[in-house]
Amino acid sequence: METRYNKAELLRQMGAAWTELDGSLGRLTPAQMTQVRDSQGWAVKDHLVHMAAWERSVVVYLQGRPRHEGLSVDEGLYRTGDEDAINAAIQERHKDVPIADALADLREVHGQLLSLIEPMGDDELYRASSDFQPEGQEERDERPIIGMIYGNSAHHFREHQGWIESLVAAG
């Protein structure tokens, strides 16, 4: 995040991006979500699973667990930092998930993240990301946790919504 958001602005950004994404998804048919694919083989459902996985990685991180657990990928793969390989593993692992389950999971994990943010104040949101992990569990990250939250929620929703809209329009 470029601007120093406070909790109220973070929640506003998350709410606006979520409302827009959820509204767009509500206008799609199950066929549009599962049958139209891009050149990499991704359907709308794959985008939903992907967003849920990365948002879940923040949930588990805030709970003091390593992010690879939330992504459901091997720790070794996660530590490579190869996001394309991580994303491919997420897609492969969830390729047979029904669309209703993918939607429900995204909604559930989003609610979990909001529940974790609710008791936090601005000062806590600007603590170093690594402060939320046991010593030595993840590589030290001094960036404020608010950036990880924003990047894997509001920013990520907007990014994927654009791709989803393009995918459906092309199909």
What are the tens digits of pLDDT across the range 61-79?
999 999 999 999 999 999 9
* Residue of 66, 55, 56 lying closest to 151 (CA atoms): 55
Read off the DSSP letter of residue 141.
-
Is 90 exceeded by the pLDDT of residue 3? Answer: no
* H-assigned helices in 5-144: 7-26, 30-34, 44-62, 67-71, 75-80, 83-93, 99-117, 122-125
Rg of the chain, C-alpha, whole Å: 16
| Residue 50 dihedral angles phi and psi, to the nearest 5° | -60, -50
Query: Are the C-beta atoms of 29 and 165 separated by less than 8 Å?
Result: no
Among 16-25, 102-111, 130-139, 150-159, which is the least confidently predicted range? Answer: 130-139
pLDDT above 70 coverage of the chain, percent: 96
What are the tens digits of pLDDT across the range 109-154? 999 999 999 999 999 999 999 999 887 777 788 999 999 999 999 9
3-state SS assignment for residue 128 = strand
Give pTM, 2 decimals. Answer: 0.93
| Integer Cα distance of 140 and 142 in angstroms | 7
Element spanning 150, H or E: helix 145-151
Could you count the other beta carbons within 10 Å of the beta carbon of residue 169?
Answer: 8
Could you count the other beta carbons within 10 Å of the beta carbon of residue 7?
Answer: 18
